Amino acid sequence: MNPNETIRLLILNDSQAEAERLISMLHNAGRPSRAQHVTSNESLVKLLEDQAWDLMIAHDKTQNLTPQEAIKQIRRLNKDVPMVLLTDEEGSPTIVEGMKLGAVDVVRLDEDQHLLLVIGREIANRNQRQEKRITDRRFRESERRSQSLLDSSRDAIAYVQDGLYLYANESFAELFGYNDKDDIDCMPIMDMVSDEDQATLKEFLKEFTLKGVDAESTKLNFQGLKQDGSSTDIALQVAHATYDDEPCIQFLAKATRKDAATARELEAVKWKDVVTGLNNRTHMLAHTDKLIDNLPDGQSRALLYIDIDDYADAVQGKLGVAGADAALKDLAQLFASKAGEGESLARFGDSSFTLLTGNTTANEAVKRAEALCREIADHIVEVNSKTLQVNASIGVSIINENSVSAETVIEQAIDAMEKAREAEDAQALLYEPPISEEERQERDIVGEVQHALDNDLFRLLFQPIISLRGSDEEYYEVLLRLVNSEGEEVSPNRFLESAAEAGIGVKIDRWVILESIKMLSEHRARGNKTKLIVNLNRASVCDETLVPWLGVAFKAAKLTADSVVFQAQEVDVTNHLNAAKALNNGLTKLGTSLAISNFGCSLNPFNALKHVNASIIKVDGSFTQDIQSKSESPEALTQLLQELHEQEKITIVPFVENASVLSTLWQAGVHFIQGHYLQEPTHSMSYDFNMEG
């Protein structure tokens, strides 16, 4: 970044004073800026459409316009404006959430030196992206010019790969008596060589290919076969080349077109649609690419993709093929009457048209598309005394300094058109980039979790934990499942983390605890001595109100506290030692206890036990799985268990899937085992513990 370069800056902050402080800070740091304070969604849209901006600095807690809404508008208008978030919060979770939102970085408020470095980096990154876009446009323009020169060249030119023609121009086709160069595409070379010269040509091409780039351009003479079967003398210059990013061999023959006088007429026909008289697809793509390559900064055009609804039945089915062509010509005249000076109208497909507008904004383009939909619906098409009315769906894609190619713009407009056709309340829509699959899934999951809480769609499963040492205690681990909209049970691995980040982790745990206590109370009332192990997520481990709430819950259920053990994951205990220690002490005073699950995965797992004196330890299931499925040595597991037993911990080993591991666990002194070999999780506490005795 050039220190003297003026930064075109947008500031999103509810505080005018803070916005002014940022501008002053940049000025004092020798970073001149031309800044605008964004105060609403409307002002942001106007600023984005009026000119190009280098950067947005936003506070993560703005109320007038949230950073998420601002990023959505930037994407909607296809602008390259990176956002840097400022935050009052500490820690990496805030940074992760901000970058998931779409920010390029998150900086603590008042850490101005850090912010200056981030600004410099992002301005440099944006400049590189802009240079790449310009380079890409120039490269594509060079490719188009090269292709145009090839197509129109009087020299006969062809490109060959693996014995097949990749490309041949009209002159090369004429050299062999073909009327259309497309007839040669993918044709074997030998089909156009006389029998007596085929062996010679094969040997020549083999040697030429083996020499690779070291081979010099050389001449090749052979008897060629024309399309009509007659022979002709062919003299070619042969050289290595690249075509369409593929290494190949170039054939070049000096020749002159016989019909050079008609070339201009043929060119005119090439760009026109025969039925409607409008420009055709080829012209539209070339014209749009040219416009993108030469669009001045700050200008934006729009491409309207107009597609007739239900064309096959509504038009062709009623009027026939010839009548449908007449209807399209009629509609083309309507579209032409609505096109302004300097705008380009084309027939793109069987039932689709494109309109390339003049300088416009996104909102103006959508309003124009909506008006055009209404005009199409009101228009009466008359063909051979038959009348009909049609509807159309229109997709709008914005063309500005960030547009890359005509193909991309068209794909975006078609995508918007298809969404408009599916929508119930819109016939015209602006293309908006889709959210990432990860973001979509996370939103869907959080929505489903909240829906499950509101509509009692969570389910509890119970898996027995069996004693290997003859204990008469009966344990079940309580497992949670979410019933989604398809009626499928979803594992908590897919939703608990997202739920915790969305702030509803505590609600889920409390629902599980209340339901577990209720079901356990009913189960123990029938004379069972059953105890439950209930899992707590990270939010509950850190929740200071949990223990007092548990005391009330146990009293209301008339259940002793020691009938439930609460289990937290090792990673949550390690990351929140003080909170876990307070929780363990509180549970002990209440008369219950804390268990730690997934134990043995941290670098120093026993460090946590120095602070959190949990009585029950469930080792991580990966130890058992490695022994059973990978035939690994049980040494790591037995050593871990030995240290736990030396500290007088009650141990549980999960994921016991077959009998082969039981002898190892017995010899290691394991207290309890759990797994599908014993019983899969079920909806009731129905395991017969007596048969183990």
Average the pLDDT over 651-661 and give the result. 90
Q: Is 132 exposed, middle or buried (0-12, 13-18, 19+ CB in 10 A)?
A: exposed
For the cut 90, the answer to whether the pLDDT of residue 149 exceeds it is no
Q: Which residue has the higher pLDDT, 332 or 254?
A: 332
CA distance 693 to 689: 7
Q: How far is CA 479 from the centre of its chain?
A: 32
pLDDT band at 261 (very low <50, low <70, confident <90, very high): very low
Residue 247's Cβ-side half-sphere holds a number of Cα atoms within 13 Å equal to: 5
Q: Which residue has the higher pLDDT, 393 or 28?
A: 393
In this predicted structure, which of 28-42, 482-496, 648-662 has the lowest mean pLDDT? Answer: 482-496
- DSSP code for 209: H
Q: Percentage of the chain with pLDDT > 70? A: 92
Q: Are 44 and 67 in contact (CB under 8 A)?
A: no
Average the pLDDT over 309-336 and give the result. 89
For the cut 80, the answer to whether the pLDDT of residue 304 exceeds it is yes
Residue 661 main-chain phi, psi, to 5 deg: -90, -10
Encoded tokens for 660: 């082969």
pLDDT band at 608 (very low <50, low <70, confident <90, very high): confident
Q: Are 280 and 272 in contact (CB under 8 A)?
A: yes
pLDDT band at 530 (very low <50, low <70, confident <90, very high): very high
CA distance 143 to 405: 13
pLDDT band at 152 (very low <50, low <70, confident <90, very high): confident
pLDDT at 258: 44
| Mean residue pLDDT across the chain | 86
For the cut 70, the answer to whether the pLDDT of residue 50 exceeds it is yes
Question: Residue 612 corresponds to which amino acid?
Answer: V
pLDDT band at 440 (very low <50, low <70, confident <90, very high): low
Q: Are 368 and 427 in contact (CB under 8 A)?
A: no
Q: Which of 589, 583, 594 is nearest to 535 (CA)?
A: 594
pLDDT at 494: 66
pLDDT at 528: 87
Residue 283's Cβ-side half-sphere holds a number of Cα atoms within 13 Å equal to: 19
pLDDT digits (tens, 9 = 90+) for 401-411: 888 889 999 99
For the cut 50, the answer to whether the pLDDT of residue 256 exceeds it is no
The CB density around residue 72, as the number of other CB atoms within 10 Å, is: 16
Average the pLDDT over 641-650 and give the result. 94
CA distance 181 to 270: 14
pLDDT band at 442 (very low <50, low <70, confident <90, very high): low
Average the pLDDT over 550-561 and give the result. 91
Encoded tokens for 307: 């597609």
Average the pLDDT over 518-530 and give the result. 90
pLDDT at 260: 44
Helix (H) or strand (E) segment spanning residue 601: none
**What are the helix (H) ranges across 379-528?**
406-422, 437-455, 496-501, 505-524
What is the three-class DSSP state of 665?
A: helix
pLDDT digits (tens, 9 = 90+) for 273-297: 888 989 999 889 988 988 888 887 7
CA distance 688 to 686: 6
pLDDT digits (tens, 9 = 90+) for 84-117: 999 998 888 889 989 988 999 999 998 999 999 9
Q: Kindly report whether the global pTM for this prediction surpasses the value 0.85.
A: no
pLDDT at 257: 41
Give the position of tokens 């002014």: 20
pLDDT digits (tens, 9 = 90+) for 504-517: 788 889 999 999 99
